[in-house]
């Protein structure tokens, strides 16, 4: 009986059959070894360290191309191809576990490029030992390995998101160029930052001092683990397992804990002000992730009806499974904005803000203004989607909202010449944030009456 671990993961084994044919392996190893030998031959007369320096750069470039570009492409296409070739339904109906499928897709679909990358990494680490700044090079090697892993994980997440957004379509196109542009820019910025003074900086996190590079490895790994958790949940969803929203809430709190670690060591402010800073951070995270999910996740009448019916039947515990994540995050943001507003009302905050800000803004006013703003945007988008019933209505709603916050705000400001008028749009741009509350409430009331015409409760 053959009990090798890939035999226990049929999905991974399938990719071994598909990807690792003798012909392809021969081409890969010949190409990589050929390039390495060419580099060595070209610099045969040069000093030892120069050869190793060039070799490490070429290996790094090879790794970047094989893992980050080609590997990410293969991983991102792994599910889209299954859908287009009509094999995805079969996989969803198999006895494969979400974990088996995730590991199979993540590492199986890119196994060919990983083999090539391993050769490149071997060459990179090998040549790093002979270089002047060996320790830094080795750490940098570790960074790029984690970046490779993270890019694959994000690419798969992206394609699962595309699948989730296009459940009705029979043929999918992932438009990965957007993903690759983001990936390319972020990798370029990262490479650039290491070559500058950034790498010499120290970062303080929960009173622990990290070298920038070490902290960067830690951050990448931290978010890589979370991206795997997210992927696992996406696969569970695809394979019709129910997901609890507790894991998402845990992610939000872990982001908060991470952020607190960067803020907590400011010794100049009091404990109460630190507490307020934490609450503001939580509110900001809630608002940020709410808008992010609200415009990336699917929203439709069926989803809303599921939630309203669950509430109507008073099965509140089921909301843990039925409520979409954008709605959970909406609750998270509202809760922390409310707590922050109340907290700031009872606690005098003088050191935290400058005199100008203290004069113009009130934390309480800002928090309540933000709550109204959030509710207004939420109601508007839901109303717009229900009104238009078109697959493009989500994108249109986002565009209108962006125009509202930028062009309309700018025009109003230009025409009137008064920043006071901005208070009718949002609390943050207007002086005296309290002014937004009344117009905000009027806008919510209008949207409430517009939403009332839709049957948000299922007849059944």
Partner 1 sequence: MNYIIEAKSAYYEYTNVKALQDVSFTISPNEITALVGPNGSGKTTLMRSVAALSSLQSGNIFIDGLDTIDYPREIHQKIGYLSDFFGLYDELTVAQHLEYAARSKNIASSEIEEISKNTLELLSIHDLNKRKVGELSRGQKQRVGIGMAIVHKPRLLILDEPASGLDPEARYKLSELLLYLQNKGMSILVSSHILAELEDYCTELLILKDGKLVEHTKLKNTNIESKKTKIRIKFLGNINKEVFDFMESQKVVSEIFADKNNTLEYVFTGEEIDKINFNRQLFINGYPILELSEPQADFQKEYLKSINRI
- Please pick, from the candidates 25, 92, 226, 295, the single residue that binds partner 1 as defined by CB under 8 A: 92
- Give the count of residues interacting with partner 1 (CB under 8 A): 34
Strand partners, 208: 205
CB-wise, 19 or 137, nearer to partner 1?
19
* List 89, 185, 270, 403, residue binding partner 1 (CB under 8 A): 89
Interatomic CA distance for residues 375 and 95, integer angstroms: 43
Q: Judged by CB under 8 A, does residue 3 bind partner 1?
A: yes
Using CB under 8 A as the binding rule, whether residue 398 contacts partner 1 is answered as no
Least CB distance from residue 96 to partner 1, whole Å? Answer: 5
Q: Quick one: which of 14, 136, 237, 274 contacts partner 1 (CB under 8 A)?
A: 14
Select from 301, 366, 295 the least CA-distant residue to 329.
Answer: 295
Q: Is 17 in the site for partner 1 (CB under 8 A)?
A: yes
Which token pair is 334? Answer: 């509202």
Instruction: Assess 322 for contact with partner 1 (CB under 8 A).
Output: no
CB of 397 to partner 1, least distance (A): 14
The piece of 82-90, 135-143, 278-286, 312-320 that touches partner 1 (CB under 8 A) is 82-90
d(C-alpha 442, C-alpha 47), whole Å: 75
In whole angstroms, what is the distance from residue 220 CA to residue 215 CA?
9
The one among 23, 196, 197, 240 contacting partner 1 by CB under 8 A: 240
Q: State the maximum Cα–Cα separation within the chain, in Å, rounded to a whole number.
A: 82
Any contact of residue 22 with partner 1 (CB under 8 A)? no
Q: How far apart are CA 312 and CA 323, in angstroms?
A: 14
Q: Measured between alpha carbons, how far is 412 from 420 in angstroms, rounded to an integer?
A: 10
Query: Partners of 202 in the beta sheet?
Result: 211
Q: Does 27 bind partner 1 (CB under 8 A)?
A: no
Binding residues for partner 1 restricted to 152-181, rule: CB under 8 A: 168
Complex with partner 1: residue 60 or 172, whichever CB lies closer: 172
Pairwise CA distance, residues 134 & 262, whole Å: 29
Integer Cα distance of 303 and 323 in angstroms: 8
Q: Tell whether residue 392 is a contact of partner 1 (CB under 8 A).
A: no
Whose Cβ is closer to partner 1: residue 51's or residue 304's?
304
Answer yes or no whether residue 455 interacts with partner 1 by CB under 8 A. no
User: Are the C-beta atoms of 134 and 50 separated by less than 8 Å?
Assistant: no
- Map residue 144 onto helix, strand or coil: helix
CB-wise, 196 or 460, nearer to partner 1? 460
């Amino acid at each position: 009986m053959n009990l090798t671990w890939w035999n226990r993961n049929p999905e991974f084994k399938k990719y071994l059959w598909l990807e690792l044919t003798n012909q392809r392996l021969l081409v890969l190893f010949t190409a990589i070894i050929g390039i390495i030998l060419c580099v060595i031959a070209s610099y045969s007369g040069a000093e030892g360290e120069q050869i190793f320096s060039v070799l490490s750069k070429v290996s790094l470039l090879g790794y970047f191309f094989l893992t980050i570009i080609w590997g990410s492409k293969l991983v991102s296409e792994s599910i889209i191809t299954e859908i287009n070739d009509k094999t995805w339904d079969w996989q969803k109906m198999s006895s494969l576990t979400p974990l088996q499928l995730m590991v199979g897709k993540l590492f199986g679909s890119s196994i060919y490029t990983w083999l090539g990358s391993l050769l490149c990494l071997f060459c990179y680490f090998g040549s790093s030992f002979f270089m002047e700044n060996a320790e830094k090079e080795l750490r940098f090697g570790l960074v790029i390995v984690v970046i490779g892993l993270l890019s694959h994980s994000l690419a798969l997440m992206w394609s699962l998101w595309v699948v989730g957004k296009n459940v009705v379509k029979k043929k999918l196109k992932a438009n990965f160029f957007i993903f690759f542009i983001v990936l390319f820019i972020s990798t370029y910025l990262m490479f650039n930052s290491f070559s500058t003074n950034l790498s010499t900086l120290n970062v303080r996190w929960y009173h622990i001092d990290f070298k920038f590079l070490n902290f960067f490895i830690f951050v990448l790994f931290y978010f890589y683990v979370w991206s795997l958790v997210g992927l696992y949940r996406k696969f569970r969803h695809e394979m019709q397992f129910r997901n609890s929203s507790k894991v998402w809430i845990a992610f939000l709190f872990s982001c908060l804990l991470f952020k607190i670690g960067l803020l907590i060591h400011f010794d100049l402010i009091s404990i109460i002000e630190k507490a307020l800073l934490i609450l503001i951070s939580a509110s900001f995270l809630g608002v940020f992730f709410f808008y992010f999910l609200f415009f990336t996740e699917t929203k439709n009448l069926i989803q809303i009806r599921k939630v309203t019916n669950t509430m109507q039947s008073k099965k509140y515990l089921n909301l843990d499974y039925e409520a979409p994540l954008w709605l959970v995050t909406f609750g998270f943001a509202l809760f922390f904005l409310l707590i922050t507003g109340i907290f700031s009302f009872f606690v005098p905050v003088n050191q935290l803000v400058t005199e100008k800000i203290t004069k113009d803004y009130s934390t309480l006013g800002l928090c309540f203004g933000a709550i109204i703003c959030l509710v207004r945007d939420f109601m508007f988008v839901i109303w717009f989607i229900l009104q238009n019933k078109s697959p493009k209505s989500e994108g249109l709603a986002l565009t209108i909202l962006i125009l509202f916050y930028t062009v309309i705000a700018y025009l109003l400001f230009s025409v009137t010449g008064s920043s006071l008028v901005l208070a009718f749009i949002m609390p943050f741009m207007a002086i005296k944030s309290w002014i937004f509350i009344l117009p905000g409430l009027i806008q919510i009331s209008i949207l409430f009456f517009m939403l009332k015409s839709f049957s948000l409760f299922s007849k059944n």
